[in-house]
Amino acid sequence: MTTTDNSARPGRLGNPTMEMNSDPRADGRMVAALAPFGLDSPPPLGGVDGSSPMDALYDYCNVAEAGFEKFNEAVFAGMDPVPGVNSRTEVIPGLDGNDVSIYIHRPDANTGPLPCLVHTHGGGMVILKASAPSYVRWRDELAAQGMIAIGVEFRNGGGGLGNHPYPAGLNDCASAVQWAYDNREALGISKIIVSGESGGGNLSLATALKANKEGWIDRIDGVYAQCPYISNVWGAGDDALPSLRENDGYLINVGDMAALAKVYDPEGAHDQDPLCWPYVAGAADLSGLPPHVISVNELDPLRDEGLAYYRKLLAAGVTATSRTLNGTCHAGDCLLRTALPDVYLSTINDIRAFADRL
């Protein structure tokens, strides 16, 4: 009889009681930055899951949104403005007859057509706002690299901009891409990249899939998805995605992800719809897509679904690259500008380099 020694396996696969602050892989600067907020150890479960009633899930979204907004304000407070950039707000028509606010950031020195990044913010497609300080900073940093950055204030499934389930937010993101394309000459746009992290990673991938399905994929030159939240198997377990267990409780709880998924798709009617959950996309959905970058974080429960999508892209003949930011938690390269400046700027610079390659 043979026994399996799990002690050598990473994270909670080797030690079910492992926490991020004791994981030897974790960047110490990240742990120190998260500790004052109690985020270096597993956050408390939200008390909801995929079987909870919708009223309880909406209440949870409001609480979670307020908590993340407080964290973002604290982490980005007191930073000097990014020099040499300006921004303005436009209100554009949405595909559903609604108004969509977008935030356009660009460098002051405009020497010609520039690559444009349409940014779809994180929050599981159900919370947070593009107007948050962290996202304003992100777009300013991209603009300082010689890009036009457009943030989309899409309708959320919950929180202060809810309750608008799938496909409302996706349609708003598609509206922003199409508006940017239609106004590319006036805006001085040379090419369009769709990008976002976490839930925004889902929406960036789904926007490209939607464009591919509907025949306007030629309007998108590339996709840069960070730590995408795309599998919809949280809490159910999936041997193909070991990071769901390996890194559970590292900044985010897998159990809470199932709750957010229900807010996005309350009836579960779109479990097998790749525009809702890109993880289920097949070769026919992916064939013909433009180049992609899939960026993931080593200590993220969602790491392996992003890598699985990257492999699907390659198998479908799509030009794709992947990068793994070792030692970092979910979206750690976006959240911690002060604590991890080298990591933060490595992603900013990689996005700009990706645009140059297209």
Cα–Cα distance between 278 and 56 in angstroms, integer? 27
Cα–Cα distance between 120 and 197 in angstroms, integer? 7
Given a cut of 50, whether residue 1 has pLDDT beyond it is no
The DSSP call for residue 318 is -
Mean pLDDT, rounded, for 155-160: 97
Distances from the Cα of 8 to the Cα of 2, 15, 241, 327, 342, angstroms: 16, 9, 18, 17, 30
Residue 13, H or E segment? helix 11-14
Q: What is the pLDDT of residues 48-107, one digit of tens each?
A: 888 899 999 999 999 999 999 999 999 999 999 999 999 999 999 999 999 999 999 999
The pLDDT, as a whole number, for residue 5 is 59
Mean pLDDT, rounded, for 19-40: 97
Q: What is the pLDDT of residues 108-138, one digit of tens each?
A: 987 789 999 999 999 999 999 999 999 999 9
Residue 20 near residue 329 (C-beta atoms within 8 A):
yes
Here the contacts of 339-342 (C-beta below 8 Å, separation 24 or greater) are: 339/29, 339/30, 339/32, 339/33, 340/27, 340/29, 340/30, 340/33
Mean pLDDT, rounded, for 192-212: 98
Residue 49, H or E segment? none
Cα–Cα distance between 99 and 92 in angstroms, integer? 6
The pLDDT, as a whole number, for residue 317 is 98
Given a cut of 50, whether residue 204 has pLDDT beyond it is yes
- Structural domains of the chain, with CATH: 46-357 (3.40.50.1820)
Mean pLDDT, rounded, for 143-169: 97
Q: Where are the alpha helices (DSSP H) in 150-253?
A: 168-182, 184-187, 199-214, 243-246
Per-residue pLDDT band for 235 (boundaries 50, 70, 90) equals low
- pLDDT: is 214 or 1 the higher one? 214
Mean per-residue pLDDT of the chain: 95
SS3 126: coil
Beta bridge partners of 296: 324
Work out the end-to-end distance of the chain between its first and last CA atoms, rounded to an integer number of angstroms. 55
Q: Which of 270, 276, 325 is nearest to 302 (CA)?
A: 325
Peptide bond into 167 cis (omega under 30): yes
Cα–Cα distance between 21 and 316 in angstroms, integer? 39
Q: Whole-model pTM?
A: 0.96
Task: Say how many C-beta atoms besides its own lie within 10 A of residue 155's C-beta.
Answer: 22
